Amino acid sequence: MQVTFGIDVSKSHSTVCELIGESKNELTITNDRPGFIQLLHELAAFSKHPQIIFEATGVYSRRLQAFLEDYGYEYVILNPLKAKKEMDMGLRHNKTDKTDAYHLALIQRLYCHPVNQSESQTYKQLNALSRFYDQLTSDLVIAKNRLHQALQSTFPEIENLFSIARGKNYWQIVARYPHCDLVRKDDKKQIINWLMKLKGIAFNHAQRTTDKLIELAHLAYPVVSCSDIEVQQAQYYAQRLLNLSNKRESIITKMVKLAKTLPNHDLENLESIPGFAQTTAVRVLAELGDLRRFSNPNKINAFIGIDPGRYQSGETDSNLSITKHGNAVARKLLYRAIGQIDNAAKTNPCHIADYYESKKLSSQTKRFKKIAIASIHKLIRTIYALIINDQPYNYNVATHNQKDFSRN
């Protein structure tokens, strides 16, 4: 007799529907040790392990995952968008926790989703570090915006100090000179000597920067005085940006060290792709995980949500835009990677950049996003081949394989 457990996971409790043949049994458990022990007794009542299905609900579903893995139970975990779509296709008319648990069990019966492939603890740690890095990046953007706001009252002209992207040196200068009057109080030699203590700034660079800083300070007309709170705000956010930047660097260092403990050359092979800096390579590895658990590259497309959706009704059968059902962080990383590969191709050729540029030239419209998605498909096939065959990227081999593929 087929037994399926559909579990609707929420913050503090979960609704469980045991679908036993044509009958069902429903119960509610707490998402803690006593609740999971209660679930264990329900699962142990069957001689053969039941099928278990639930939605990925972030931190809440991770507790259930950990429990099931600790006790050796396989499970299916669905992306919430995919689960909603399948449940809405004629199965669900009313939405409650009980009906969701029941319909999760029903769609497992209907679609027979494959069980989740468990990964090693190293990959899980890499993924956790990658998500932490992503959160710090979001915090960095917020801090930049708040620093900009504070400087509008104290020294807006300092934002013109460097023409290229601002980084650590700029933030250190802002932390020392958050108000234009502070620049005016120091003499030129004092500023030059201090600037030379910063990384990568020699005497000539320090002299030019000092001249520009003094010029900008004399142009400024501040809204507030040196003693006002906005000056402290500017200093605070400049220092916060430095701390966030340092923390992101330390996370990447930890990720690289962890990735190099894996029994393969995955990180090195990813770094061999033109345009893949170490940060991109290790984060792609962390988000995609062990690619050997996928039977083909199309499964990876579905995992990150760039597989095309499909609409079928009567005689109508058409492909829609990408599903966006999968790993959004991986999708964003790979999308940005296409731009990095294209930029690097000027000095380091790549067949993916060739494809991207040729499609842009032949396109009759400006829909470059679709071309980028198509390029991601090629990138995923390339990444999969490098990992499965444990080999670095080679432009000649890649272009030769492309020709063979197009002939077939």
Q: What is the DSSP string of 114-169?
A: PPP----HHHHHHHHHHHHHHHHHHHHHHHHHHHHHHHHHH-GGGGGS-SS---HH
Which whole-number Å values give the CA distances from 235 to 147, 170, 228, in the listed order? 8, 12, 12
CA nearest 403: which of 338, 354, 345? Answer: 354
Q: First-to-last CA distance in the chain? A: 46
Whether the CB-CB separation of 391 and 269 falls below 8 Å is answered with yes
Whether the CB-CB separation of 30 and 11 falls below 8 Å is answered with no
Beta-sheet strand order (sheet of 13-20):
23-30, 13-20, 3-9, 51-55, 76-78
Backbone angles phi, psi at 13, to 5 degrees: -145, 165
CATH class of 3-118: alpha beta
Residue 220: both structure tokens together:
């400024």
Boundaries of every domain in the chain: 3-118, 124-257, 266-407
pLDDT of residue 319: 44
Helices 278-288 and 229-259 cross at an angle (nearest 10°) of 70
CA 352 to mean position of chain CA atoms: 21
Look at the domain 124-257 and name its fold. Answer: Helix Hairpins (1.10.287)
pLDDT of residue 209: 96
Cβ contacts of residue 13 below 8 Å, gap of 6+? 28, 29, 30, 31, 35
Which whole-number Å values give the CA distances from 164 to 26, 40, 170, 176, in the listed order? 61, 58, 11, 20
- Amino acid code (one letter) for 11: K
pLDDT of residue 91: 54
- Amino acid code (one letter) for 383: I
CA nearest 277: which of 352, 353, 328, 337? Answer: 337
Is 314 buried (19+), middle (13-18) or exposed (0-12) by CB count in 10 A? Answer: exposed
Whether the CB-CB separation of 52 and 74 falls below 8 Å is answered with yes
CA 78 to mean position of chain CA atoms: 18
> Using CA atoms, how far apart are residues 191 and 234, in angstroms rounded to an integer?
19
Cβ contacts of residue 84 below 8 Å, gap of 6+? none
Residue pointed to by tokens 């260092």: 253
Whether the CB-CB separation of 174 and 151 falls below 8 Å is answered with yes
pTM of the model: 0.83
CA nearest 4: which of 118, 80, 115, 147? Answer: 115
Helices 203-219 and 188-195 cross at an angle (nearest 10°) of 130
pLDDT of residue 316: 36
> Using CA atoms, how far apart are residues 179 and 119, in angstroms rounded to an integer?
52
pLDDT of residue 406: 53
Vertex 186, ends 185 and 188: CA angle to 5°?
135
Whether the CB-CB separation of 337 and 284 falls below 8 Å is answered with yes
Bridge partners, residue 29, by sequence? 14
pLDDT values of the chain reduced to their tens digit, one per residue, 408 residues: 789 999 999 999 999 999 999 899 999 999 999 999 999 999 999 989 999 999 988 888 999 999 999 999 999 998 887 788 887 775 544 556 568 899 999 999 999 998 988 788 999 999 999 999 999 999 999 999 999 999 999 999 999 999 876 899 999 999 999 999 999 999 999 999 999 999 999 999 999 999 999 999 999 999 999 999 999 999 999 999 999 999 999 999 999 999 999 989 999 999 999 999 999 999 999 999 999 999 999 989 988 988 764 333 333 333 435 666 678 999 999 999 999 999 999 999 999 999 999 988 887 766 788 899 999 999 999 999 999 999 999 999 988 776 655 554
Cβ contacts of residue 248 below 8 Å, gap of 6+? 133, 136, 137, 140
In DSSP notation, 380-405 reads HHHHHHHHHHT----HHHHHHHHHHH
DSSP state at residue 6: E
Is 77 strand, coil or helix?
strand
Question: Side-chain half-sphere of 12: how many Cα atoms within 13 Å?
Answer: 0
